[in-house]
A and B are shown apart, each in its own frame.
Chain A
């Protein structure tokens, strides 16, 4: 059985909670299970944000924040370098043999933290998610997509089509229905729809690339963590 208790730490504006929803919806699209808990606080841009997601191929009963994660995803390097986090240090509560995915292009983990992570037998994946987002989607707003792509690329919990379905739901929702209104309205909706479709495609490109990176670098998990 695969079971991941994930803590996502990032800063306001990065789509931490949005990507937690997409993670959950992708699991649901694949007929599996997920629960998510956002941190209740007054979030704002660049202030710490945390979200917790539990994913499994079996029903999940547990509730509340994930205090002892086996996956930690760091969306912004400042979580570590500036301590922009509700949970300090960033690995607090991490279980043995867990996974840490960090969005960074250089090693930002201090030596003493490295020592702890090694003792815990942690698999650390450093990965330039924002760089990838800028290159492929032309916006750093797609950082969260890169992170999701890498997570699923490593864990292979769901197929690519399930991620696509979840992202599509998030961007298009069910707001676009065949309109019986005026032509002007139709064209306005169409324009907006086209823009959204472009956005969706760019996001999917980022996810596809992150998925590929996990494979190329040999990060795909053989046997998943079991509790």
Chain B
């Protein structure tokens, strides 16, 4: 392990020199953790998993983290993350599919406890029937927790979102956890080019007193909230305490947006802003959407892409603006419920132009050709289907 020196967070994220490596998505996440001055990582090696927590174990053994342990199970892991963070540490964990759902009760309480942490969500199917394939339906369960939810398209996004995630999460006016989601296998197990900051530079350590709720101080919420919890009373004050607290969590979520602009170049990326038909996609569906834009270009069709990087806070205003003149909006997804299509429909006024699909699930690949079929039908193009399947 090289001697790491602390550098300013803005310098590390925005200016530090970068070196290009060809690595997997799981490696990209561990490389970000390596540069994030993380104190403790806790995980439970449930099946399915990605290699992330295994790789973080490796870098702990090399001395990049102060502590690492295997929890008794996911609920324990996620509860222990809360404890470590309230105690002043910078913490990281990662999980997948069924593991995420098992830990969800603890995770859903992180924002209310004002826990700044980063959670890697490497999506797999939610059982049953038993399977371990990629499918991102689990992100739907995270959307109403109050946490910031970022969705990475590729290995580069995984690195950038994870490293920036710690900084955004610990901003005093945010101070809620950040989930960095990406597709299992398609991104975690596949290699891509990642431009990374130098290995010998790391973020400044967490300053637990730079917080809206100082740790271990029993007179200030949320510790105070735990001691004199609303549950102990049934009166207007107790309702109010909880209501105000929830409002504050969601306001914090919205306040994260300015940092998403600062560190991640904004919550959306737009390719071909003057397009007639837009594909709106997140995660690796955005990569497929990028290829669909290329296919369309070859055929002389005016198709654009809106890649949604931030699912929470959801960039309603930005999406509404881009889609104002679009004739049709296609939302391809790696899940059956179509959580992104619902978000998009809720964000724009003329939402009858939103085509929810194509959707694949259960581990299937999302062929660009399926997206193109929607493009053709949106543009009223009739194609003789010659491909034999």
The verdict on A63 contacting B387 (CB below 8 Å), with A226-B298, A227-B295 known, is: no
* CB-CB under 8 A for A64 and B388, given A227-B295, A227-B298: no
A93 adjacent to B388 (CB under 8 Å): yes
Taking CB atoms, residues of chain A closer than 8 Å to B183 are 63
| A57 part of interface (Cβ distance < 8 Å) | no
Question: Which residues from B are CB-within-8-Å of A119?
Answer: 386
- The answer to whether A120 touches B388 (Cβ under 8 A) is yes
A60 to B368, CA, bound (A): 12
**Could you say which of A64, A65, A91, A120 has the most chain B C-beta atoms within 10 Å of its C-beta?**
A64
Q: B268-291 toward A: CB 8 Å interface, digit per residue (1/0)?
A: 000000000000000010011011
Q: A61-B154, A226-B298, A227-B295 are in contact. Are A93 and B366 (CB under 8 A)?
A: no
Among A60, A91, A227, max chain B CB count under 10 A is at A227
> In chain B between 135 and 164, which residues have their CB closer than 8 angstroms to a CB of chain A?
154
CB atoms of B190 and A63 under 8 A apart = yes
Query: Is A144 part of the binding interface, using a Cβ–Cβ cutoff of 8 Å?
Result: no
Q: In the assembly, what is the distance between CA of A93 and CA of B186, in Å?
A: 20
Interchain CB contact (< 8 A) of B291 among A62, A65, A91, A120: A62
Which partner residue on chain A sits nearest B153 by CB separation? Answer: A61
Q: Which of A54-102 contact B (CB under 8 A)?
A: 60-65, 67-68, 89, 91-96
- Given A40-B185, A227-B298, A63-B288 contact (CB < 8 Å): yes
Encode B166-185 as 1/0 by CB contact (under 8 A) with A: 00000000000000000101
B17 at interface by CB-CB < 8 Å: no
Q: Which of B185, B187, B287, B389 contacts A62 (CB 8 A)?
A: B287
Q: Cβ of B377 < 8 Å from any Cβ of A?
A: no
Q: Nearest chain B CB to A224's CB is how many angstroms away?
A: 12
B residues near A67, Cβ cutoff 8 Å:
365, 367, 369
User: Inside 8 A of B369's CB, which chain A residues have their CB?
Assistant: 67-68
Q: Is A35 an interface residue (CB 8 A)?
A: yes
A93 to B208, CA, bound (A): 56
A109 contacts B by Cβ under 8 Å:
no
Query: Whole-angstrom distance between the alpha carbons of A164 and B190 in the complex?
Result: 25
Contact B298 A64 (CB under 8 A): no
Residue on B nearest A65 in the bound complex, by CB: B365
CB contact under 8 A between A61 and B298, given known A67-B367, A68-B367: no
A67 CB to nearest chain B CB (Å): 4
| B386 engages A96 (CB within 8 Å) | yes
- The interface residues of chain B lying within 8 Å CB-to-CB of A40 are 185
When distances are taken between beta carbons in the complex, the residues of chain B under 8 Å from A89 are 388
A29 within 8 A of B: no
Q: How far is the CA of A64 from the CA of B284 in the complex (A)?
A: 10
**B290 near A61: Cβ-Cβ < 8 Å:** yes
Most chain A beta carbons < 10 A, residue from B284, B287, B290, B294: B294
Residue on B with the closest CB to A37? B190
Q: Name B387's contact: one of A62, A65, A94, A226 (CB within 8 Å).
A: A94
Question: Of A62, A65, A95, which one neighbours B288 at CB under 8 angstroms?
Answer: A62
Task: State the CA gap A191–B369 with chains docked (Å).
Answer: 51
User: Is there a chain B Cβ closer than 8 Å to A199's Cβ?
Assistant: no
Is B386's CB under 8 angstroms from A120's CB? yes
Is A46's beta carbon under 8 Å from chain B?
Answer: no
A64-B186 contact given A226-B298, A227-B295, A227-B298, CB 8 Å threshold: yes
Residue interface bits B347-389, CB-to-A below 8 A is 1, else 0: 0000000000000000001111100000000000000001111
Q: Are A94 and B365 in contact (CB under 8 A)?
A: no
A227 to B183, CA, bound (A): 25
A19 → chain B closest CB, angstroms: 18
A120: B residues at CB distance < 8 A: 386-388
| CB < 8 Å neighbour of B366 from A37, A64, A96, A116 | A64
Q: Which residues of B contact A95 (CB under 8 A)?
A: 387
Give the contacts of A118-135 with B (CB-CB under 8 A). Answer: 119-120
Q: How far is the CB of A169 from chain B (nearest CB, A)?
A: 13
Separation of A23 and B284 alpha carbons in the complex (Å): 24
Q: Considering the chains assembled together, what is the distance between the CA atoms of A68 and B386 in angstroms?
A: 11
Please tell me if the beta carbons of B388 and A91 are within 8 angstroms of each other in the complex. yes
Contact between chains at A116 and B388 (CB < 8 Å): yes
Kindly state the separation between the CA atoms of A62 and B295 in the bound complex, as whole angstroms: 12
Check A63 against B388 for contact (C-beta < 8 Å). no
- Mark contacts of A148-178 with chain B using CB atoms, 8 A cut-off: 1 yes-contact digit, 0 otherwise: 0000000000000000000000000000000
Give the distance to chain A from B363, nearest Cβ to Cβ, in Å: 9
Residues of B within 8 A of A64 (CB): 186, 284, 288, 365-367
Contact across chains for B287 and A93 when beta carbons are under 8 A apart: no
A92 to B, closest residue via Cβ: B389
Provided the pairs A61-B154, A63-B287, A226-B298 are in contact, do residues A68 and B387 lie with their beta carbons within 8 angstroms? yes
Q: Are B288 and A93 in contact (CB under 8 A)?
A: no
Interface residues as binary, B50-71 with A (CB distance below 8 Å gives 1, 0 otherwise): 0000000000000000000000
With A68-B369, A226-B298, A227-B298 as given contacts, are A93 and B291 in contact (CB-CB < 8 Å)? no
- CB-CB < 8 A to A91: which residues of B? 388
CA A226 to CA B297, docked complex, whole Å: 11
Q: Can you report 6 A-B residue pairs in the complex whose CB atoms are below 8 A from each other?
A: A61-B291, A62-B288, A63-B287, A94-B387, A96-B387, A227-B295
- Apart from A60-B291, A61-B290, A89-B388: 14 A-B pairs, beta carbons within 8 A: A35-B190, A37-B190, A61-B154, A62-B287, A62-B368, A64-B365, A65-B365, A68-B387, A92-B389, A93-B387, A93-B389, A95-B387, A96-B386, A120-B388
